[in-house]
């Protein structure tokens, strides 16, 4: 919410409050004229009554608005909110009574000690409590509106990123090279070539249909990666060129589609050491509340490593993670000698298919 709108909310609230309190002052003044009570007819007494209603209201409103909301209500500490809220209201009442007592020392109920000050302080504490409640309501409305706008903005950005992701899902060089390798393999081992062709067909089907949904089973994402790795293996004669390992139970957990695949594609795209064993290592560790994707790839030292992942820039990947897993992910990208290392940790992302 824009600052000007927030300011208008505050101005509007205090305008209505002052208007209501002015009506109360006028009613008191009208009743006092009937009893010929001359002090109530003076501007000084009117100012006293105005201060009596305004000082504790300001104290209570902004104590709740600026402190209690963020410290307790936003953290859902309801018991703490009630207890500290009551103490804050009493504190505002005492502070307001002291301030008004200093400003207006000639009014009798501040001059008779604790006996007269206590009911006045209690009334001020109630005014502070009521206005503090309104402060919570207004701050809650502003926070809710800001979160709504943020979710809408993130949804729009996520849609744009998903669209860009779908458009860049497959590297054409990988497709052409795989088809050429399968074509060569047909003459040598037709059964094996048919197996790889089926895997390529499954990959194409996954990209065309599975990625259209908001979430897919984690097992499908891992199956895609496994088939992609198998198709990459036929491009080299080194048997242990790539290591792919999944640890933990997948069960029926869900994940957003194409989350790890751009990182995997990047490792193969820029790994120029196809004759070296363990040139690419991909490990996925799954626990009850966490998933860790760990990928390293070796490349020829001195070769430039472009800052992109499967056609998507790092910034775009980070924005997608921020939109999908706010405060529930950690992405590390590092370079050490001839090795690039990518580690993505996701926390608390699981939903049952039955839910």
Each residue's pLDDT tens digit, 44-98: 667 777 788 899 999 999 999 999 998 888 888 889 889 999 999 999 988 888 8
- pLDDT tens-digit readout, 247-306: 998 888 888 887 888 888 888 877 766 667 788 999 999 988 889 999 998 876 655 554
Q: Is the pLDDT of residue 308 over 50?
A: no
pLDDT at residue 247 in the model: 93
Q: What is the mean pLDDT of residues 162-182?
A: 64
Q: Is the pLDDT of residue 339 over 70?
A: yes
Say how far apart CA 134 and CA 77 lie, in whole Å.
18
Domains of the chain: 3-158 (no CATH), 168-347 (3.30.565.10)
- 3-class SS of residue 245: strand
CA atoms within 13 A on the CB side of 74: 16
pLDDT at residue 310 in the model: 43
In whole angstroms, how far apart are CA 351 and each of 145, 252, 253, 255? 27, 8, 6, 8
Name the β-bridge partners of 339: 298, 336
Q: Worst-scoring range by mean pLDDT, 15-29, 206-220, 286-300?
A: 206-220
| pTM score of the predicted model | 0.51
């Amino acid at each position: 919410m824009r600052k000007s709108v927030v300011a208008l909310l505050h101005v509007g609230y205090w305008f209505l409050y002052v208007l209501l309190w002015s009506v109360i002052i006028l009613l008191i003044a009208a009743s006092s004229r009937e009893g010929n009570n001359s002090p109530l007819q003076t501007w000084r007494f009117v100012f006293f009554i105005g201060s009596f209603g305004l000082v504790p209201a300001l104290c209570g409103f902004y104590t709740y608005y600026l402190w209690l909301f963020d410290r307790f209500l936003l953290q859902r500490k309801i018991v703490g909110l009630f207890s500290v809220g009551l103490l804050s209201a009493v504190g505002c009442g005492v502070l307001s009574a002291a301030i008004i007592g200093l400003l207006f020392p000639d009014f009798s109920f501040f001059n008779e000690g604790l006996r007269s000050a206590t009911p006045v302080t209690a009334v001020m504490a109630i005014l502070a409590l009521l206005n503090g409640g309104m402060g919570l309501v207004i701050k809650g409305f502003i926070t809710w509106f800001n979160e709504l706008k943020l979710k809408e903005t993130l949804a729009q950005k996520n849609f744009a990123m998903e669209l860009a992701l779908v458009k860049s899902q497959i590297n054409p060089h990988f497709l052409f090279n795989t088809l050429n390798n399968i074509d060569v393999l047909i003459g040598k081992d037709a059964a094996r070539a048919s197996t790889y062709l089926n895997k390529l067909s499954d990959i194409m089907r996954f990209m065309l249909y599975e990625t259209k949904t908001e979430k897919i089973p984690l097992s499908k994402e891992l199956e895609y990666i496994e088939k992609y790795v198998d198709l990459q293996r036929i491009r080299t004669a080194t048997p242990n060129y790539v290591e792919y390992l999944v640890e933990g139970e997948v069960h029926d957990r869900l994940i957003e589609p194409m989350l790890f695949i751009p990182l995997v594609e990047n490792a193969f795209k820029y790994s120029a050491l196809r004759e070296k064993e363990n040139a690419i290592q991909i490990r996925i560790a799954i626990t009850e509340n966490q998933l860790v994707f760990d990928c390293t790839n070796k490349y020829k030292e001195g070769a430039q490593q472009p800052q992109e992942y499967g056609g998507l820039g790092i910034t775009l990947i980070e924005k997608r993670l921020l939109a999908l897993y706010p405060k529930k992910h950690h992405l590390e990208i590092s370079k050490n000698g001839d090795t690039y290392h990518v580690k993505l940790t996701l926390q608390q992302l699981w939903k049952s298919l039955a839910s």
